[in-house]
Structure 1
Amino acid sequence: MSQDLTREEHLAAIKKADREYYELDDPVLADEEYDALRRDYIDKYGAEDLNYVPGGATGDFDKFTHPSPVTSLSKWTKGVDDEADLVKKVEELWPVVIQPKFDGLTVVAYPNADGSCRFVTRGLGGRIGEVLPNFIREYEGPGVNKSGYAVRGEVYITQENFAKMNEELMAHGDEPMKNMRNAAAGLLRRKERSPYVDYLSYVCYELPGEDVTPQEARQIISSHTEFKVTSMQELASPNSALEEIEAYYDALKLQNTIPIDGIVVKSGQRNSLEKFGFTAHHPRNGFAYKALSEKFVTVVRDVIWQMGRRKATPVAIVDPVEIDGATVTRASLHNAAMIKELGLSIGATVEIHKANEIIPQITKVLEPGDTEITLAVCPSCGEPLEEINGQQFCNNPACDERIAQDIAFVGSKDVLNIDGLSIETARKMVAYWKEQYAAVKPTYTILFSFTAEMLAKLEGFAEKSAEKLYNSITAASQDVELPRFIKALCLPGIGTDVGKILADRFGSIEEINQVIAEAEEPQAMLQEINGIGPKTAEMLTSNKFSMAVNMLQRHVTIAPYAKQEAPAGEYAGKVFVLTGKMAKPRSFYVELIEAAGGKEGKSVSSKTDYLVIQDVNSTSAKAKKAREVGTQLISPEELENMLL
């Protein structure tokens, strides 16, 4: 399907999947689907746009910078990658040990002087995590970690405890949790301690930043901490590596006592980190074996369409099928292009597989159905949909669901952060407005016209809850930061990044409007700004943008914007482009550049001051372009010497 996407849409799909997996703990794509999406992108456009490491601290808890990055491993996938490559990898790393690859929440235990611990999530690129306010009770006291080392482990829930927890939740009238993998994050990422935290397990396997063998790490953890330590097996021979890894994986899956999504393969050589080094994202002294997801067969009985802020997404209703003890009746289809590509119809017998142990994805039609799947109109407003690159969009600005989705979006944490404003409440607000003010077409800004008295008339609201939401809306609409204001315009392609870029460049919404009005070629002028592309420039110079600004300014006041000044110095304002594999994570070099006041560029141009490349004598296209435009080529080591 990725062949039908534009470059921008393809990259957006990857970043959406990253956010679902790392930040929301709610993945939709199977691992091999995600890997294929990345591979297709790299084949078409190169790896430069993907030189970031996903996952970030949410801001709800204290942030913590890991002294050593908590890195992930590169992957070798069964049925996708060459078996000869696996043997070659194992030969290079020999001797080799294997361990379970746990499917849970990565947490690092940092010891205090008394042996108690701060428990920190992996977070942004494995560099900035969250300090968890609560943890499993048996590990919260002193004397838990006397090793003096940070210890990395995985928090997960067993099937037995997952079922027990859900029984108790339902007995109390609460919704059961649907996904085992998300349970750890769901229970630990709460300010108030969940009564079910102690149903979780924590197993440890690594000392981040320490160049010790897996056997030495295991010995330290088992001897000097109270943590459970992972199992481990040494491989007998590189030639039998795949057979041994698969037997180990199959045995763990058969036991079904711990959730796993692969096998970790690590070098047993001493000082292996120093010897093998790093790629841009991963250590080279190990990798992860990934098996293809298990397949199931079922029948498609219907397809329903769910509206988001703009897009209608299809979901297949299928005959019930048991997957890991859960009854599944829905399967993901993603978009209309996927339906066409599969040749899917109602009544079709299909093959589905698990995505990260629970979310099914239709992968193949085994027997065709008898009824065509069509969607010509929006399931909310009934207006015709526009198909763009295989995806269906509602362009009716008066669509009730679109308006409700925009209201909920504006109230979300990273826009205006209106406490208590859910999508359900937004829908009630739209319905109330249309009933009471039929002559006035609603937009998302009706949000700011609701009084406490009006809110109290919504289903489920009483005087106190209505007053609380009204106060939240009122407070959130005053002294709004300029980047958030721009994001709250609810315009396609205008998000946080664009808001920050415009705020830093112009400082106020008035200045943005004035500069655009006075420029001879405003779109060309805007595209000169790093981070502003053609589509964004077109939107910013349109009547739609100016009308949206005027409409929102009637309800929201903007706080004076104070740009954070970049550090002064020799490299302030200099543009660095990084390319190719490097000894340390790319984020390490980007932080160096930004700390010195420099900027990371995405492509080489006449404005690029330095191209950072491992081989300064490279004849790659990027290196040739750099020489043509007079950009200086430097190695990562030279960059460190310059900036440290």
Structure 2
Amino acid sequence: MATEKDPAQEIQQLTERINYLNYQYYQNSRSEVPDFEFDMMLKRLQELEEQHPDLRQSNSPTLRVGGTITKNFKTVYHTWPMLSLGNTYSEEELREFDKRVTKAIGENVEYVCEQKFDGVAISLTYEKGKFTQGATRGDGTRGDDITANVRTIHDVPLQVHGEDYPELFEVRGEVFMPLPVFEQLNNEREEAGEQLLANPRNAASGTLKQQDSAVVASRKLGCFSYSFHCANSPFDTHSESLQAIQKWGFEVSDTWRKCSSIEEVLAYINEWETRRFELPIATDGVVVKVNSYALQEELGFTSKSPRWAIAYKYAAMSASTVLQGIQYQVGRTGAVTPVALLEPVQLAGTVVKRASVHNANEIQRLDLRLGDTVFVEKGGEIIPKITGVDLEKRPADSQAIAYPTQCPACSTDLVRSEGEANFYCPNEKGCPPQIKSKLEHFISRKAMNIDGLGPETIEQLYTTGLVQNAADLYDLTFEQLVGLERMGEKSANNILKSLEKSKETPYDRVLFALGIRFVGSTVAKKLAEQLPDLEALRGATYEELIAINEIGGRIANSVLEYFQDSDHVQLVERLKAAGLKLKAEHTAPAVESDTLAGSTFVISGVFESVSRDELQQLITSHGGKVVSSISAKLSYLVAGDKMGPAKLEKANKLGIKILSENDFLQMISK
């Protein structure tokens, strides 16, 4: 009869075994066991940890899948400041850097050249070989604690390998989103009718700030480690530390190189100007560091950056091609956006056929004409942009581009509001691309998240007359859906189930899904917090709306205009009848005192011990009111770090009392 294993011992054995197998797979590209066997071990570990949560180890591989919800990221201070580097774009300035270094040191210097990856800098802290903290760069002195999210990145070891590591050390790295993952994510966003992410760096940054670490895990972020920090470093050079941390299990890009002279540095830079496009991550330059730690210490720092390192940045890649035409796209808000159609040209490793022109002002500024030879630049953005025209190649019979005066989709006269760059089609109820884009926005992941419905199905539903607005979706029947082209019974049932499930979507996301102009997901949450049901929102006055923190006049007017339209009111009533949640489930913060009764507050800046949302709740719970703008009637300005100088100046000019974070907390503690 088999004896039952001790849970603590089995958890430890499984943790060590799976971490070892992960190391072999991700670092050495070697699979030592079949996938099924690995999955069974991981499943067994998860079961044991669920039964004995107190026995889960801090380096457990189950943490890789995420699931931790972080409401607020606490601020942590860096033991070693994360300073920025000085930038240069020229060979001459690099040679000047080398002269300054050699003059200060008085000898020949060995450098290390590394790719300047376009990602997000993080610090990784290890105690006794175990990963204990991951933090963003922040302002260089302090950053956000994102430990739960960093644990999901496979390139970050939860337990270092070997035994020759210090008891406490820190590794710096660059978190990035691999280009194939970025392209896949943007394809999914396009299908869901969401705005495309501009570049992989922004995508990585936004991912690291996700509150749900399971979302982070799904994004498959990577991390290249590039520096080591310790109170008493066991290494004499930066290159030795790179070799050591790679041996310990950190992912170090093999693109770095030791260079014995500035000439070798320049050769490395020239070599990688084109080779960098072969990498799975965007890179925009080269970091040059003095290799010797002793010499680094001798050279020291300025107030902002080390004197022993510099970043050489490549110029943005540019190419010339012929402008063949302009395509005008109509978006969800009716904005008409021009897109340049180009003769295909190779640029930064890809073939470019389209480029952004932004608006009519840009066409006029560039004096674009059909047939022009234009300069196209790609600086990491998803869509390249036109930066100029080669006038020497302009055809003699070229004609200026006439921006349309009517909507390209429905022929309605375009309008242009004062102070706005875009032309708009005002026919929101009869312009097909606007109607379809609104429907696509409604079903998107950040809104109602209705699986099974995508742009193609929306197109079918619209053209067949089954759906003209969001409320029509909830009237769809099985018979109507299976009657569509390429729609099977299983797909039809899945759509109906997803529509039913969407009725559980929280109120703030339903509010976002309505597509009220200027009401994004963040604004929708703010509105839902202060006006907890749709009736309260519909009945709110302009003054009540702008009194909500971060809600300005433009948003307030847009909300008021939306509910003044009888069709919108009817739409909302139909959605309510369909069973959608039009009331927030959270309750208002409990009233603790009337200490702040009759006082109004503006919150600005970043705070150490509390978040802005927590400050707002504290003010409300003690009888005060948070407003968005500074006026003579304001009682207090609660000022944090990095607050805008304009607000501070206006408050001082009006004689408004300014409170620090501690001043405010002391005020309510009384």
- Alignment counterpart, residue 330 of structure 2, candidates 307, 326, 337: 307
CA contact (8 A) 2:66 2:216 kept: no
Superimposed CA distance per residue, residues 12-65 of structure 1 (whole angstroms, 9 cap, x where no aligned partner): xxxxxxxxxxxxxxxxxxxxxxxxxxxxxxxxxxxxxxxxxxxxxxx9964565
Q: Residue 554 in 1 paired to residue 578 in 2?
A: no
- Alignment counterpart, residue 529 of structure 1, candidates 548, 554, 568: 548
Q: State the alpha-carbon separation in 1 of the partners of residues 112 and 469 from structure 2.
A: 60
Q: State the alpha-carbon separation in 1 of the partners of residues 308 and 609 from structure 2.
A: 21
- Alignment counterpart, residue 409 of structure 2, candidates 354, 357, 380: 380
CA contact (8 A) 2:259 2:265 kept: no
Deviation at residue 467 of structure 1 after TM alignment: 0.7
Deviation at residue 468 of structure 1 after TM alignment: 0.6
- Alignment counterpart, residue 414 of structure 1, candidates 446, 449, 455: 446
Partner of 1:250: 270
* Unaligned segments of structure 1, at least 5 residues: 1-58, 167-177, 517-521, 580-585
Q: State the alpha-carbon separation in 2 of the partners of residues 69 and 407 from structure 1.
A: 45
Instruction: Report the CA distance shift for 1:565/1:253 in structure 2 as closer, same or farther (over 3 A).
Output: same
Q: Residue 297 in 1 paired to residue 320 in 2?
A: yes
Q: Residue 469 in 1 paired to residue 495 in 2?
A: yes
Deviation at residue 345 of structure 1 after TM alignment: 1.4
CA contact (8 A) 2:360 2:421 kept: yes
User: What secondary structure is seen at the aligned counterpart in 2 of 1:353?
Assistant: strand
Partner of 2:173: 153
Q: State the alpha-carbon separation in 1 of the partners of residues 223 and 542 from structure 2.
A: 54
Deviation at residue 392 of structure 1 after TM alignment: 2.7
Give the residue type in structure 2 aligned to 1:297: S
Superimposed CA distance per residue, residues 99-157 of structure 1 (whole angstroms, 9 cap, x where no aligned partner): 43113576776769776899999999855473575736x97987389665453434679
Q: Residue 330 in 1 paired to residue 345 in 2?
A: no
Deviation at residue 340 of structure 1 after TM alignment: 1.4
Instruction: Report the CA distance shift for 1:132/1:350 in structure 2 as closer, same or farther (over 3 A).
Output: farther
CA contact (8 A) 1:100 1:262 kept: yes
Superimposed CA distance per residue, residues 179-225 of structure 1 (whole angstroms, 9 cap, x where no aligned partner): 9958997999998999x98xx98531145999989987765553252
- Alignment counterpart, residue 497 of structure 1, candidates 508, 514, 522: 522
1:396-545 superposed matches below 5 A: 396=427, 397-433=429-465, 442-478=468-504, 480-514=505-539, 516=540, 522-542=541-561, 544-545=563-564
User: What secondary structure is seen at the aligned counterpart in 2 of 1:449?
Assistant: coil
Deviation at residue 402 of structure 1 after TM alignment: 1.1
Q: State the alpha-carbon separation in 2 of the partners of residues 578 and 192 from structure 1.
A: 29
Instruction: Report the CA distance shift for 1:525/1:193 in structure 2 as closer, same or farther (over 3 A).
Output: closer
Superimposed CA distance per residue, residues 371-410 of structure 1 (whole angstroms, 9 cap, x where no aligned partner): 4433333333333332343323222122222111111111
Superimposed CA distance per residue, residues 255-309 of structure 1 (whole angstroms, 9 cap, x where no aligned partner): 546452124477979899x98788xxx9999885544302211111112123321
More displaced 10-residue stretch of structure 1: 219-228 or 492-501 = 219-228
Instruction: Report the CA distance shift for 1:630/1:361 in structure 2 as closer, same or farther (over 3 A).
Output: closer
1:25-40 superposed matches below 5 A: none
Deviation at residue 560 of structure 1 after TM alignment: 4.6
- Alignment counterpart, residue 103 of structure 1, candidates 114, 118, 134: 118
Instruction: Report the CA distance shift for 1:642/1:322 in structure 2 as closer, same or farther (over 3 A).
Output: farther
Give the residue type in structure 1 aligned to 2:405: A
CA contact (8 A) 1:213 1:270 kept: no
More displaced 10-residue stretch of structure 1: 328-337 or 379-388 = 379-388
- Alignment counterpart, residue 362 of structure 1, candidates 386, 397, 409: 386
More displaced 10-residue stretch of structure 1: 547-556 or 558-567 = 558-567
Q: Residue 626 in 1 paired to residue 649 in 2?
A: no
Q: State the alpha-carbon separation in 2 of the partners of residues 508 and 376 from structure 1.
A: 40
Q: Residue 392 in 1 paired to residue 418 in 2?
A: no
Instruction: Report the CA distance shift for 1:60/1:484 in structure 2 as closer, same or farther (over 3 A).
Output: farther
Deviation at residue 234 of structure 1 after TM alignment: 9.1
- Alignment counterpart, residue 261 of structure 1, candidates 250, 275, 284: 284
CA contact (8 A) 1:214 1:266 kept: no
Deviation at residue 454 of structure 1 after TM alignment: 1.8
Q: State the alpha-carbon separation in 2 of the partners of residues 603 and 216 from structure 1.
A: 53
Deviation at residue 453 of structure 1 after TM alignment: 2.4
CA contact (8 A) 1:63 1:131 kept: no
Give the residue type in structure 1 aligned to 2:464: Y
1:183-194 superposed matches below 5 A: none
Q: State the alpha-carbon separation in 2 of the partners of residues 425 and 105 from structure 1.
A: 37
Give the residue type in structure 2 aligned to 1:405: S
Instruction: Report the CA distance shift for 1:543/1:193 in structure 2 as closer, same or farther (over 3 A).
Output: closer
User: What secondary structure is seen at the aligned counterpart in 1 of 2:496?
Assistant: helix
- Give me the TM-score of the superposition, normalised by structure 1: 0.64
Instruction: Report the CA distance shift for 1:271/1:534 in structure 2 as closer, same or farther (over 3 A).
Output: farther
- Alignment counterpart, residue 161 of structure 2, candidates 126, 143, 151: 143
Give the residue type in structure 2 aligned to 1:607: S
User: What secondary structure is seen at the aligned counterpart in 2 of 1:430?
Assistant: helix
Partner of 2:635: 607
Deviation at residue 323 of structure 1 after TM alignment: 1.9
Aligned-pair RMSD on alpha carbons? Answer: 5.7
Deviation at residue 620 of structure 1 after TM alignment: 8.4
Give the residue type in structure 1 aligned to 2:283: I
CA contact (8 A) 1:211 1:270 kept: no
More displaced 10-residue stretch of structure 1: 562-571 or 551-560 = 562-571
Give the aligned length: 531
Partner of 1:343: 367
1:14-29 superposed matches below 5 A: none
CA contact (8 A) 1:77 1:292 kept: no
Deviation at residue 83 of structure 1 after TM alignment: 7.6
Partner of 1:174: none
Deviation at residue 424 of structure 1 after TM alignment: 2.4
Q: State the alpha-carbon separation in 2 of the partners of residues 611 and 214 from structure 1.
A: 44
Partner of 2:377: 353
User: What secondary structure is seen at the aligned counterpart in 1 of 2:636?
Assistant: coil
CA contact (8 A) 1:316 1:331 kept: yes
Partner of 1:47: none
CA contact (8 A) 2:226 2:252 kept: yes
Q: State the alpha-carbon separation in 1 of the partners of residues 217 and 645 from structure 2.
A: 57
* Unaligned segments of structure 2, at least 5 residues: 1-64, 106-110, 185-196, 620-625
Instruction: Report the CA distance shift for 1:78/1:399 in structure 2 as closer, same or farther (over 3 A).
Output: farther
Partner of 2:53: none
Q: State the alpha-carbon separation in 2 of the partners of residues 425 and 63 from structure 1.
A: 34
Identical counterparts, % of pairs: 24
Partner of 2:32: none
Q: State the alpha-carbon separation in 1 of the partners of residues 260 and 608 from structure 2.
A: 34
- Give me the TM-score of the superposition, normalised by structure 2: 0.62
Instruction: Report the CA distance shift for 1:527/1:603 in structure 2 as closer, same or farther (over 3 A).
Output: closer
CA contact (8 A) 2:512 2:520 kept: yes
Deviation at residue 475 of structure 1 after TM alignment: 1.8
User: What secondary structure is seen at the aligned counterpart in 2 of 1:477?
Assistant: helix
Partner of 2:47: none
Give the residue type in structure 1 aligned to 2:323: V
Q: State the alpha-carbon separation in 2 of the partners of residues 567 and 286 from structure 1.
A: 54
Superimposed CA distance per residue, residues 223-252 of structure 1 (whole angstroms, 9 cap, x where no aligned partner): 25222446377999xxx9xx9987764343
CA contact (8 A) 1:106 1:153 kept: yes
Instruction: Report the CA distance shift for 1:264/1:209 in structure 2 as closer, same or farther (over 3 A).
Output: farther
Partner of 1:594: 614
Instruction: Report the CA distance shift for 1:407/1:122 in structure 2 as closer, same or farther (over 3 A).
Output: farther
